[in-house]
Amino acid sequence: MGGMSTSNRKAVGDELLAVLPQDERAWYTKGHLLKLNFCLVSLVLFSSANGYDGSLMNGLQALHQWSAFMEHPAGAWLGFINAIYWLGCGINFPIAAWVANTWGRKRGVYIGYLCLILGVCLSASSHVVGFVLSRFFVGCASAWFGNAVPLLMNEIAYPTHRGIVNALFNCGWYVGGIVAAFITYGTRNMDSNWAWRIPTICQVLIPILALPGFLLVPESPRWLASKDRTEQARTILERSHAGGDSNSALVNYEMIEIVETLRAEKASHSNSSYADMVKTPGNRRRLYISISLGFFSQWSGNGVVSYYLALVLETVGITSVKDQTLISGCLQIWNLLFAVGAAFSVDRLGRRPLFMASAATMLVGFITVTGLSGSFANSGNAATGTAVIPFLFIFFAGYDIALTPFLSAYPCEIWPYQLRSRGLTVTYISVVIGIFFNTFINPIALGSIGWKYYFVFVAVLVCFGLTAYFFYPETRGYTLEQIAVIFDGENADVPAPAETAYRSKSIVSEKGMVAHEEAV
């Protein structure tokens, strides 16, 4: 992630490369970038809430202590217990988007912490209702974290690092999943309700670890510029991207591009709203991508395994609590490795190749799982049932290389500033609807028709591959502002990159502050 490497040349265009520092020093030898990337890696941990929840519920369903406490939930009631987390998430996401646009990217995260603490406190309740309510409030916290944090990461990251940092955010899902899986594995033999209460209460641990980095990270310079606080925005970019150099050509370039793009967007959409998402061909394509990506992220078959791994394993004869919790933990580690590997490859390989590889790998893996599950149902052969496990891992490797890193990253890239938080909200509302339906229907369908239910997801995977091929464009090599050209063509509200690079080199900055008028 440093200097003028080949990956940097693929990550940004020639115009931006021309204003980057020309030294060959690695980013980790520069104090300002080391601090910035520490903050950004800390922010990745905020996505752990979703992963912790999915893994936690898998583990709890394998514990007889939790099942007894909850009076052996099944069918629709089990689906509701899982789905109420996403109900809280869905209700809060539009509110979080409004707060992020109005009060800044960081403000909502504090609200998320309050919701998380309330949820964890309720989880210690001795009543079933307390546990169900705790899941609702933890879902609320996830919405506040999930909207503001990826926006902030995109809008503060160093230009050549943005693609990787952006893709890393959702990888934190598996950090939470790993922690939840192995805490549950460690408490499985406790005779009391603490077997499930300890993993439930520990949901607060990873967001606490993220707190120091969050407190150190500055507010989004793009949000500040949108509120006409350009001097503050420039100061942040100078400190974070140029080590305090007030004459940095890179900072000049970024400020010109940000300020002019925001002014053009405001002129075109003085009062931006969700209605603007359908007013132009470019926005309609963005909207289709945002909705479809959220849908496919939950209807590619992963929803069955993410929340009902115990039920899936039981259908192929793996019933031991030890085996189920251990497989869950190993699957989370596997997922993290592939998701992080894909995140670091987004600029080297590009978005479209990863989308297509993802669809193909998941399709092969899920068809095989379906066939083996059907064979086991007919024969009862233990070896056939066990053979399902490696293909579940293959399926998730495919999921990890695109749908994990791009679920939040792609919508954040493709929407212009005025609609970015709303675009991300649309994706997550699509996710929530898909998950709410999934978590409610999946246990009923699995209980009724078992492995035959998998055929639905085989068809969805085919649709995902076709949709990605025809509708998901490559965004590698563009800055956050320039991506608008892909969707809007000549009507894009962005300055010409070549002109911006030329002017950025010509600016003589006084007192480290350059207003837009000085750049003309």
User: What confidence tens digit (pLDDT) does each residue in 10-62 have?
Assistant: 667 777 888 888 877 889 899 999 999 999 999 999 998 777 887 788 778 87
Angstrom CA distances, 452 to 76, 238, 386, 399, stand at 19, 58, 18, 21
- Residue that the structure tokens 């990461």 belong to: 153
3-state secondary structure string, 175-197? Answer: HHHHHHHHHHHHHCCCCCCHHHH
CA torsion through residues 422, 428, 433, 436, sign: negative
Domain-located, residue 413: yes
**Type of residue numbered 134:** S
Domain-located, residue 257: yes
Average pLDDT over residues 185-211: 90
Average pLDDT over residues 453-472: 92
Q: Can you count the helices (H) and strands (E) in the chain?
A: 26, 0
**Type of residue numbered 400:** D
Domain-located, residue 518: no
Task: Tell me the sheet residues that pair with 392.
Answer: none
Domain count, the chain: 1
Average pLDDT over residues 84-100: 93
Q: Are 424 and 151 in contact (CB under 8 A)?
A: yes
At residue 236, does pLDDT exceed 60?
yes
* Alpha-carbon span 426 to 410, nearest angstrom: 12
More confident residue, 321 or 364: 364
This prediction has a pTM of 0.86
Q: Are 151 and 471 in contact (CB under 8 A)?
A: no
At residue 415, does pLDDT exceed 50?
yes
Task: Tell me the sheet residues that pair with 96.
Answer: none
Domain-located, residue 234: no
* Alpha-carbon span 92 to 425, nearest angstrom: 10
* Alpha-carbon span 156 to 136, nearest angstrom: 31
More confident residue, 172 or 466: 466
| pLDDT at 309 (0 to 100) | 61
Residues 474-497 pLDDT 10s: 999 898 989 999 999 877 777 766
- Residue that the structure tokens 């954040």 belong to: 412
DSSP helix/strand/coil, 243: coil
Q: Are 27 and 264 in contact (CB under 8 A)?
A: no
**DSSP one-letter code for 316:** T
Domain-located, residue 52: yes
Q: Which domain holds residue 316?
A: 26-223+241-506
Average pLDDT over residues 179-205: 89
| pLDDT at 520 (0 to 100) | 41
Where residue 467 sits, what CATH number does that domain have?
A: 1.20.1250.20
Domain-located, residue 517: no
| pLDDT at 436 (0 to 100) | 75
At residue 8, does pLDDT exceed 80?
no
| Tokens matching residue 391 | 């293909």
Burial level of 217, CB count in 10 A (0-12/13-18/19+)?
buried
Q: Which residues contact 303 (CB under 8 A, 6 or more apart)?
A: 434, 435, 438, 439, 442
Report which listed range, 260-274, 295-309, 356-370, is most confident. Answer: 356-370
Average pLDDT over residues 210-219: 96
* Alpha-carbon span 23 to 34, nearest angstrom: 16
At residue 412, does pLDDT exceed 60?
yes
Report which listed range, 156-160, 187-191, 373-377, is most confident. Answer: 156-160
| Tokens matching residue 354 | 């990863």
**% of the chain at pLDDT higher than 70:** 87
Distance from the first to the final alpha carbon of the chain: 32
Residues 108-162 pLDDT 10s: 999 999 999 999 999 877 788 999 999 999 999 999 999 999 999 999 999 999 9
* Alpha-carbon span 139 to 56, nearest angstrom: 13
Domain-located, residue 445: yes
Average pLDDT over residues 178-185: 86
Task: Place 308 in a pLDDT band, splitting at 50, 70 and 90.
Answer: low
**DSSP one-letter code for 513:** B
Domain-located, residue 372: yes
At residue 512, does pLDDT exceed 50?
no
| Tokens matching residue 395 | 């399926």
